[in-house]
Each structure stands twice: as C-alpha cells, then as structure tokens.
Structure 1
C-alpha cells in the first residue's frame, strides 16, 4: 500500500466530502494546494485572505454546502478575522485550514510568523483544533466537517503544523464516508401549545430569517402562509426564502419596513419568527409593540432566541417544524378580512412606487433598480452591500425578487466589501444564473484587489457600483451633525477601476435616460463572459426616506 502525506490525506478527505472548489492563499511551500488540485478540486487563488473567506462564505450560502478556505500562518490567519466574523454571524458552514508553526518550535515565540492562532479564531468558530499528530487526522477532519454542517451551521478551524503536514500516513487510510446529518423537532407538548396559539390567531405575521434559506423544498413557506392567511415579512438575511411577488409578501422587516406595513404590524395578534436571531435591524422601531404581541420563535440553536420578549420558544429545524405545522393546522381557515388588508396594503405599496417618478435627468438609484429588473433575466441573483445608497435595494418594492431569484446580503455585522467578494463565490456556486453585485464605491474599493481574481478565472459578473465619492454613509452622518468644514469622507474624482483587461468592461452611467441602454449593454458584455462594472454616478443625498431621519447609532428609532 502506497503511503500518502497528511496534506494529501486532507485533500482526499475534502474530495470524499464533496468539495469542488477551495478559496484562499496557501503557505509558502504550496504542498496542500498542490494536493488539493491533484484531487481535481479547483483551487481559486485570491489576493487577500479576508476576501477569500468572504468568497467561500458566498459560495457556501449559495451552494448550501461546506465552503473551504486555505491560508498560511500568522498574519495570514489574522487577516481572516473579519471574514470569520461575517461567516459566524451568517451561520455559514465553513472550514478554514491554516498552516501553523512546527511542533518542535511552537511555544518558544522565536519561530517565523508564530502566533497564537487558536486564540485569534476561537471566539468566532464552532470548533478550533491544532492537529497534534498525523494519526489524529481522520477524526479531526470528520469532526470539523460534522460540526460545520450539523445543527446551526458555522465556521470551524483546523491548524496544521508545518512538520505534520508533510509526514506520511501509515496503516489504513482514514475513513471519510459521507456523514449523516440529523434534524431536530421541538418537544410534543410545546409543539401542541404552538398549534393552539396559531389556531386562535386572527391576524398572524410570519417573520422569516436567514435560517429559512436552508430549506430544501421550495414553496413550503408559501403554502403555510396561504393556509394561515399571514402577512409575510423577511429579515435582510432571509431574503429569497419567500416569493416576493406573492400577494401575502410585505417586504423587509424592521429598519426597511414600508410605511404602509406599519399599520398591519399594530393590528397583528400573533408573530411567528422562523430562523431569525431578531437582531436590532430586524426589529427596528417595533420593539415596544412586540412586548404586547403573542410571539412564537422557532430556531435550531438555543442561543439565537431573543428572550427580551415574552415568547414560546421552539427548538427545532425550521423546515421540519413548518412541514409538521402544515399538517397540524390544515383545518384552520384564514381570516379573509386580514388577507384583504394585506393584499390592499401591497397594492398600495406598488402604486406608491409607480407614482414616485422624477422629472429631472439626474440618475436616481430607484430608477437604476427598476431598469435592472426590467432588462436582466428573471433568474438573476442579487448580492448586496450595506452602505448608504445600496440600501435602496432593501426597500421593497424598489427591488422585488421573482420566483426564480435569490439575494445574498451581509449579516448584521455589515462587513464592508463582503457583497463584492461574495459575488464571486455565489457565481461559482450558481454558474447558470447571472449574478449582480449592487455595491457602493467604498465597498468596491476594499474589494478591488480581488477584481483580478474574477478576471483570472474568467467568471462573468455584473458589478453595479454606486459612485458618490467613497464613504457616503459616514459623510451623510457628518453633514447631519451640523459640521461646517464640508465633506470628510468623499473623494468624488476617482474612478472605481482603472484596470485594463480583455475580460473587463467598464461602463459609465451619468443620467437617468441612459439607464436602459447601459444595462442592456452590460448584459451583452456579460453574455460574452465579461466582468462588467457599471460606474453609476449618484448623488449622496439620494437616500431612502426612512434613512434621512437616522443619525449615528439610530438614536431616534422609537420615533420612526
């Protein structure tokens, strides 16, 4: 029996667990990267470790499978921290494989690039482990993959000392047979109690979080909403879990809720939250009202329940719970008056959008969103940032997803540059669907070093870059504090990209009447397998109306 190294064993294990692509920057000796490529796994070399983690996160979320990232040691690991913070907040199944100081030198603090990498990453991962011997490889890799994907998904970290990675495995090769992932259900008594609450509710609301996006069967949430006659709202991370053209869909919750939906929130008598941590932006301006509502929270992780509100908390897999609820509440007739209110509210929202026309030639973000939806295929995927003007895309119905569409957004951490980088991972996971990244120029600037990664791997993408000169949100805050010295955060005379590459097309967009033509041109270039950057020149005062009242850390939210 021929021997293989630990690095080769890791690569074989990744292959056995279904890994098709790995993102990252390897250590200097490149042995793990070569071993991975020898298993016919694509290794996408990035320019920045943080961006690599962002890409792997985007891939994992879109593919709904484990993302894998390989980095070196010391500063290479510290560069992943922002990415790990985002992956942790996204509950994303991610495996980080790093190099580590050799066992003979570790702890002396004399080795090149030696750092306490475990201490750096441990707060942000479900499990971290430094490989202590070649014999432990089998159980370590199995446990890492199991924990990353079991229960609430999340990132895990394995550190491979450089001397162990090159050692030869002896004896039988580790068993990397497929892992069985189980799903949990709430206890029967709590489940029956929840069904009783639902049966007595006249005006229910379903609030769908990011956990709903992991449901394997599409259409179940729509079926249950129709059965309940419920208003459906989503958190930003839950977007794409529910068909937004459905008459019961009311848009995003919290910070992004439409003014017409606020009346329905006041009338509701039951709120059912599915797969959401109910973070601050999801509840923004609604906190006091929730204290008076009946609430049922469903989460697979007990740490994700928001216990500031009186709730019935069901611990279980969202899809399992919804499927059981469909069976147990099938005899419940929806209250038609409530359904009519919801449908009338949605019609009024769409009418508001149709009437919000501007006579001027200045480019508006709302007009840009309208033309994107009109000109691009109905299965396009949107990847968002969370700056000042890209938040227009969070305000339904300015952007509404068709049935075959999806969206991927930053978590409540709103890590700047995540969406621009994650778009590469999403495009890798969904090669048959166009991916459109809707980003501000501040975020795009942080991503720019890895624009070359998309070009090198010939991945067609469309970047819509909203150019207002840099950090529009900070400048907006600065102006609203009454400071007199003018702009501090905007530099309006720089281009998003000055790169020239045969696979890159940069298209300027200045006026409203140019929108349709520019987007149609972008699509033609995308079909030629180009990376397309639309440089949309927007004004910093083009802000969604609810955000004009927010300054600092949202101090006036209770008044909204």
Structure 2
C-alpha cells in the first residue's frame, strides 16, 4: 500500500497502539500534521502551548499509564524546545518517542532556516536516536524506536525526519509490534542462592527501594519480598508508591531529605538490598560515610548501574518483576524483631512534624489533599520545596501515583506532566503541587488544560521566593539572598481566570478544607494560590558533603 512519509508515521503510531500524541506544528512538520488530520479519528493530538509542555505531557502520560509517551515538534527551535523534556525522561527512565521534522535533505548542514542537528544535540540524553534519510527505512526505524524505548531500562528515543522524506511515497506494509523481551537470559541459580544466603545471614538488613519497582510493575511482588525479608524499607523519591507509605516497615525517604529512621537504618545496617535504585548522590550523601558496615546486594535491570556510585558485594541483573518471581518462592520468612523494634523507636523519637495552628503551612495543605482526595489520586509536583514537602507528607499507597522530576529536577515539569497524566487517566483525580517559581515557568500550559477542559487542580505553595535555593542561601551562604526573592506582582487567581480556569486564594489553615472541596467539585482546571511563609524550611536536611546520619532536624 503506497503511503506518504507522513502517512507512514501515522500508520506506525497506530500499529504501535498509540492513540494519543502531544505536539506543536511548524513548517518542516506540515506533512506529518496533514497526515494526522486524515487520521484524527484514530490518533488524538493534543496541542500544547509550547513544545516543552508537549514533552512533559508525553512524559506524564507515560509515567501514569505505563505506555510510551509520544511528542512531536518541528525543526530548529521546535526540536530544541523538546530537549529539557527529553532529558527529564532520560534521567528518570521514562519510555518516550520524540518525532521531529527537519529541513529537506539537500539543505541539511547548510545552516538553513530553522535547521539544527537535533540528533547530535540529543545523543547524550536519549537511549538511541535516528535521522531517517531514506523513506524505505522510515517504518522500520519507528518500530525500532518504540521497541528500544520500552526494552530493558526504559527511556526516550528520538526520530528526526527531513521534510522531503515526509512527502515522498513508499510502500507501507503493516507489522504487528515486536513483543518486548522482559529478560535477556534466565537468572543463574547460583546468583539467586547467593542473594538468599546474604539475606538469611544478615542481622540488620535494609531494603532500599527505587523507581525500578514502579517502572517494572513489581509492586505486588516487592510487597511479598518485604514480607519474607522482614526488613525496613527506605525509598528514593522515584520509588514512592512502589510500597505503601502506611506500612509499618516503611521508613520514608532516604538521603538528603530522608527521615531520621531511614538514614540511621542505612548507617547501622549490615546489609543493603537495593531494588531498582541507582545510589544517586541525593540518596547516599557522602560516599565514604554511606552504610559503613554493610554489604551491598543490588538488583537492577541495568548492569551499568552496578558499581557506578557504590561498590557492591553482589548483584543480580534483570527486571525487578522477573528477579522477585524467582527469588520470593525460595525465601523463607525471616524474624528480626530486635532490629525492627529499633527502627520503630527511631520513628517514634524522630517523627516528621511541623509547627501547627500558626500561619498557613504547606505540610498541612498537603496532608489535607491526601485526606480529601480519592485513594487512587495521582499527584504531580514541580521541583524544590514543594516536591520534598509532598514526598515527605503525602502518604503514597499505590504505584504510579507520584509523578515528579527526580533525576534532572526540572522546574516547570509538573503542570505539563499533570496534563498528560490526566489525559492518560481521565477517571482519576489529578493534583499538581507547585511552588510559585516553578508555576511561573510553564503556567502557559493552563491554556492547554482549559482548552481541553481537564479537571486538574494546581496548588501553588506561594512563598514569593525561590524557596529551596533561598533555604540553601540562608543555611550555607550567610543569608545572602541573591536573586531568590521574587515578590512578583502577579495575581495568580486573576491569572488563572484570564486563562479560563477557576482560581482560589488561601491565606490560613481554616480555609484549606473548604477550598479543596470546592475545587474537587469543579469539572475544569482549578488553580489554588496558598500564601505561605517565605522562611518555612524543608526539614530534615543533610548538609552538603556530610554523612546522611548528620541530619538537621530543626
């Protein structure tokens, strides 16, 4: 069947099960958009306000649904506007396919109008990328892109297509999507037996849970594993939701903003079982002081993560689901009452707390959202204090319920991600928790939320400063607040209304519940401006360069 390059792209999207894409048109990509017009009954295109918003929406859609997120952009600035979103997905192992158009083949390399080498630019931040110079290779390239994005450790793949390729005609023949191989090889029996021996002989093990538990769909198997091992569970930010935060063995975040119980458990344990976690600097603090008396058992899909940041004593390579499927039946339930009692004592003596019954508190707002929202509500965040307060004070009980930029720490991520997640999960409640600095970066995407009448609730914890950066300046830079005081004159409620959303203002704790209930009853997008104190800090916190046991608690 003869198809243009644009039509082949549309056919391949349908072939791969894609019915939702996010993007922004331009001159070089017109042939693809012309094809999308013809296929609009099969592919829903969501027009964002900016290409970065399209990338974040595709990312949020992928994280919420487990499917591949797809975003489109034209050449030059359209393609470069995707870069931050692609890097965000890459750092957090999110399956995404970014399709960009470029200038015609004859104009490549001539500094033509709106020409950039987007393949060269994105090489360090993609699992793989392609430029298609032969229309006969277009369909096979797209199929490889979708496979690579999902296979092994997920991540973004970019496909760049010159404009004349999208206009040329070639034969298109349907192919069923290639099944994703979950494991490359059976896990050797000796690896499993060695891991079991390490677990059985440990007196004070700690399970260190990362985003791999969520990404691999291993939450149930992981819960069974914890029940067998009977060890405390500390989480990275990306792991939140992979194990219920309400479980008695859950100790909370580990690392720079970890709980005292998690950080002390890591310091005093004799075995760390890292499950789908990559030992990032935010989690382990000073390498020399991390788990000084512990052996390290690492379970991960990516062999490149083993011995990268921390020297391991043993590792098992494979998807978390497959490894635990093999490991759990061989494990006997352990008994570690003395160790778990010590953990519970730390939790009692050093609880997460904040001063109540005073000014409007961000922690109180977040706890109220949890209290009033549906159990399966999905929370996205921006980056900074808002992100950490949410990670600490919102009790996540389900996988894929917490969507945030963990690795890259992208301010402006949350609103686009919330839009994508709401489109992917239309029956679920979606909240985006933001700081005012992050909100201003991509508030233009309110236009997208209003246009598609998406019932998202944006909660702006407004302290009129760049809160986390200001906190560092206050604690470590002699209170020299250089360019972190915003004090914008923008009326956020009026801004929301100008976009067509509903706006609310909260100035005291007594208003929170009533406003949240009103916001949840509204069918379209809502923005809630919460006026909080600029000196409210995110605590606990480990000072830079310190051991994670040396927490600042107040």
The TM-score by the shorter chain falls in which range? over 0.9
Q: Does 2:519 align with 1:517?
A: no
Where 1:30 maps in the other structure, the secondary structure is helix
CA distance in 2, matches of 1:313, 1:64: 26
RMSD: 2.2
CA distance in 2, matches of 1:278, 1:458: 40
Give the alignment partner of residue 437 of structure 2, picking from 431, 439, 442. Answer: 442
Q: Which residue of 2 aligns with 1:38?
A: 38
| Cα drift, residue 422 of structure 1 | 0.7
Gaps spanning 5+ residues in structure 2: where?
A: none
- Decide whether aligned partners of structure 1 residues 327 and 119 sit closer, same or farther in structure 2, where only a CA change above 3 A counts: same
- Provide the TM-score with structure 1 as the length reference: 0.91
- Decide whether aligned partners of structure 1 residues 404 and 210 sit closer, same or farther in structure 2, where only a CA change above 3 A counts: closer
CA contact (8 A) 1:226 1:334 kept: no
Give the alignment partner of residue 505 of structure 1, picking from 502, 507, 514. Answer: 502
Q: Which residue of 1 aligns with 2:301?
A: 300
Give the alignment partner of residue 84 of structure 1, picking from 79, 83, 86. Answer: 86
Matches within 5 A, 1:320-359: 320-329=322-331, 331-346=332-347, 353=353, 356-359=354-357
Where 1:247 maps in the other structure, the secondary structure is coil
Moved more, 134-143 or 6-15: 134-143
| Cα drift, residue 202 of structure 1 | 2.4
Where 2:107 maps in the other structure, the secondary structure is coil
Q: Which residue of 1 aligns with 2:378?
A: 381
Where 1:260 maps in the other structure, the secondary structure is helix
Where 2:492 maps in the other structure, the secondary structure is coil
CA contact (8 A) 2:453 2:524 kept: yes
Give the alignment partner of residue 104 of structure 1, picking from 96, 103, 106. Answer: 106
Q: Which residue of 2 aligns with 1:269?
A: 270
Q: Does 2:530 align with 1:530?
A: no
Q: Does 2:402 align with 1:411?
A: no
CA distance in 2, matches of 1:36, 1:511: 48
| Cα drift, residue 206 of structure 1 | 1.2
CA contact (8 A) 1:97 1:158 kept: yes
Count of matched residue pairs = 542
CA distance in 2, matches of 1:376, 1:27: 40
Matches within 5 A, 1:153-552: 153-170=154-171, 173-184=172-183, 185-216=186-217, 218-284=219-285, 288-307=289-308, 308-329=310-331, 331-346=332-347, 353=353, 356-360=354-358, 362-395=359-392, 398-403=393-398, 406-480=401-475, 481-482=477-478, 488-496=484-492, 498-500=495-497, 504-525=501-522, 529-547=523-541, 550=543
Where 2:326 maps in the other structure, the secondary structure is helix
CA distance in 2, matches of 1:158, 1:23: 15
- Provide the TM-score with structure 2 as the length reference: 0.92
| Cα drift, residue 488 of structure 1 | 4.6
- Decide whether aligned partners of structure 1 residues 178 and 340 sit closer, same or farther in structure 2, where only a CA change above 3 A counts: same
Moved more, 332-341 or 9-18: 332-341
Matches within 5 A, 1:102-181: 102-109=104-111, 111-170=112-171, 173-181=172-180
CA contact (8 A) 1:417 1:444 kept: yes
| Cα drift, residue 264 of structure 1 | 2.9
CA contact (8 A) 2:284 2:290 kept: no
| Cα drift, residue 253 of structure 1 | 1.0
CA distance in 2, matches of 1:501, 1:410: 28
- Decide whether aligned partners of structure 1 residues 460 and 76 sit closer, same or farther in structure 2, where only a CA change above 3 A counts: same
CA distance in 1, matches of 2:525, 2:288: 43
- Decide whether aligned partners of structure 1 residues 363 and 546 sit closer, same or farther in structure 2, where only a CA change above 3 A counts: same
CA contact (8 A) 1:380 1:406 kept: yes
| Cα drift, residue 181 of structure 1 | 1.1
Gaps spanning 5+ residues in structure 1: where?
A: none
CA distance in 2, matches of 1:369, 1:458: 24
CA contact (8 A) 1:476 1:540 kept: no
| Cα drift, residue 499 of structure 1 | 4.1
| Cα drift, residue 349 of structure 1 | 5.9
Give the alignment partner of residue 69 of structure 1, picking from 68, 71, 81. Answer: 71
CA distance in 1, matches of 2:423, 2:304: 32
| Cα drift, residue 290 of structure 1 | 2.1
CA contact (8 A) 1:296 1:311 kept: yes
CA distance in 2, matches of 1:276, 1:484: 36
CA contact (8 A) 1:84 1:124 kept: yes
- Decide whether aligned partners of structure 1 residues 509 and 287 sit closer, same or farther in structure 2, where only a CA change above 3 A counts: farther
| Cα drift, residue 545 of structure 1 | 2.8
Moved more, 432-441 or 27-36: 27-36
| Cα drift, residue 463 of structure 1 | 0.6
CA contact (8 A) 1:417 1:446 kept: yes
| Cα drift, residue 407 of structure 1 | 0.7
| Cα drift, residue 249 of structure 1 | 0.9
CA distance in 1, matches of 2:52, 2:70: 13
